Structure 1
Amino acid sequence: MNLPSAVFVAASFCLLGAAAGALAADNMKAFPPAEEGMTRLVLKLPKQEDESAFKVELLVGKVVETDAANRYFFGGEIEEQNVEGWGFPKYVVSELGPMAGTLMAVDPNAPKVERFITLGGEPTLIRYNSRLPVVVYVPEGAEVRYRVWAAGEEMGPVEEG
Structure 2
Amino acid sequence: MLMPTLTLSLATFGPQALAATLKDVAPYPEAEAGFTRQVIHLPSQTDENDHKVEILAGKQLEVDCNRQRLAGNLEEKTLEGWGYNYYRLEAVKGPMSTLMACPDGKKAKALVPVVGEGFMLRYNSKLPIVVYAPKGVEVHYRIWSAAEQVNKATEE
Bin of the TM-score, shorter chain as denominator length: 0.7 to 0.9
For residue 149 of structure 1, what is the aligned residue in structure 2?
Answer: 144
For residue 101 of structure 1, what is the aligned residue in structure 2?
Answer: 97
Correspondent of 2:66 among 59, 67, 70: 70
For residue 10 of structure 2, what is the aligned residue in structure 1?
Answer: none
Task: After superposition, give the CA deviation of every residue in 1:115-159 in whole Å (9 maximum; x if it has no partner).
Answer: 110112357110111000000000111100000000010000011
Give distance in 1, aligned partners of 2:149 and 2:133: 37
TM-score, normalised relative to structure 1: 0.79
Correspondent of 2:85 among 85, 89, 95: 89
Give distance in 2, aligned partners of 1:126 and 1:147: 10
Counterpart of 2:28 in 1: which secondary structure? coil
Gap regions ≥5 residues in structure 1: 1-6, 11-19
Give distance in 1, aligned partners of 2:137 and 2:27: 23
Residue 63 to residue 22, structure 1, CA distance change in 2 (3 Å): closer
Return the letter of the residue paired with 2:68: Y
Structure 1 window deviating more from structure 2 (111-120 vs 35-44): it is 111-120
- How far off its partner does 1:21 sit? 6.4
For residue 11 of structure 2, what is the aligned residue in structure 1?
Answer: none
Correspondent of 2:126 among 124, 131, 135: 131
Gap regions ≥5 residues in structure 2: 8-17
Contact residue 61 and residue 96 of structure 1 kept, 8 A: no
Task: After superposition, give the CA deviation of every residue in 1:5-24 in whole Å (9 maximum; x if it has no partner).
Answer: xx9xx9xxxxxxxxx96797
Correspondent of 2:41 among 40, 44, 51: 44
Rg larger for: 1
Q: CA RMSD of the aligned region, Å?
A: 2.2
Q: Does 1:35 align with 2:32?
A: yes
How many equivalent pairs are there?
Answer: 141
For residue 59 of structure 1, what is the aligned residue in structure 2?
Answer: 56
* Percent of paired sites with the same residue: 41
| Bigger proportion of residues as helix | 1
Return the letter of the residue paired with 2:51: F
